[in-house]
Amino acid sequence: MSQTVLTMLKDGQHYMKTWPMRKELYSFFPECRVVAATKFAVKTMPPAAMVTCLLLIQNLGTDYIPQTIAMALFFLSLPIQGLLWLGHRSEQYLPPQLNSWYQDVHSKMRSHGCHLAAVKTKPKYKELAQLLKTAFNDLDNALTKHWFN
C-alpha cells in the first residue's frame, strides 16, 4: 500500500497524538522514544535552523549561503523524519506475537465493560495505539500494570 508523503505526515501527527506516553510502554515499543524526540524536534529545530543561518552568515559571510541553506534544511528535516517514521509505522500490521496480545487485551477490556470498536483480525499499530490509550484512560491502574509485568 503506497502512501503519499503528505498522507504519511498527517498519519504521523495523528499517531503521535494517539500513542499513550506511559513509562510502562518505553521498554516494549520504540514509539515512545520517537514521539518524545519528534515533539522535541518540532519545538527546537526551527529556532536552531534560524540561529545556524544567522551565525553562519554573520561569521562566514554570503560566500557560504549554499552550506548555510543545507544546514538549515537538515535541521528542519529532523521533525519531518520523525513524523514520516510514525506515519509509516502506524500503517504496519502487528507481528503475530503482538497480534495475539492485542486480541487478549481487547477481550479483557470488553469483559470489563469498555466500549471498543470491533476487534480486527489483522490490526495495525494505529489500532494498538487506540486500544492502549483507551486502556490507560478508562481502566484501573492495577489492571493495566498487570499487563506490563
The cell for 74 is 537538515
Lowest mean pLDDT, pick from 71-75, 122-126, 134-138: 134-138
CA pair distance 19, 73, nearest whole angstrom: 28
Q: Which residues sit opposite 93 in a β-bridge?
A: 124
Q: Is pLDDT at 116 greater than 90 in this prediction?
A: no
C-alpha angle with apex 35: 30 to 131, nearest 5 degrees?
Answer: 75
Using pLDDT thresholds of 50, 70 and 90, give the confidence band for residue 146.
low
pLDDT at 139: 74
Give the confidence band of 108 by pLDDT, cuts at 50, 70, 90.
confident
Instruction: Output the pLDDT for position 117.
Output: 78
Three state DSSP letters for 77-114 = HHHHHHHHHHHHHHCCECCHHHHHHHHHHHHHHHHCCC
Per-residue pLDDT tens for 50-95?
999 999 999 999 999 999 999 999 999 999 999 999 999 999 999 9
What was the pLDDT predicted at 92?
A: 95
Q: What's the pTM value of the predicted model, to 2 decimals?
A: 0.86
6-53 pLDDT, tens digit per residue, is: 999 999 999 999 999 998 889 999 999 999 999 999 999 999 999 999
Beta pairing partners, 124? 93
* pLDDT reported for residue 125: 96
Q: Where are the domains of the chain?
A: 1-91, 93-149
Cell numbers standing for residue 107: 477481550
How would residue 141 be classed by pLDDT, with cut points 50, 70 and 90?
Answer: low
How is residue 28 written as a grid cell? 516494549
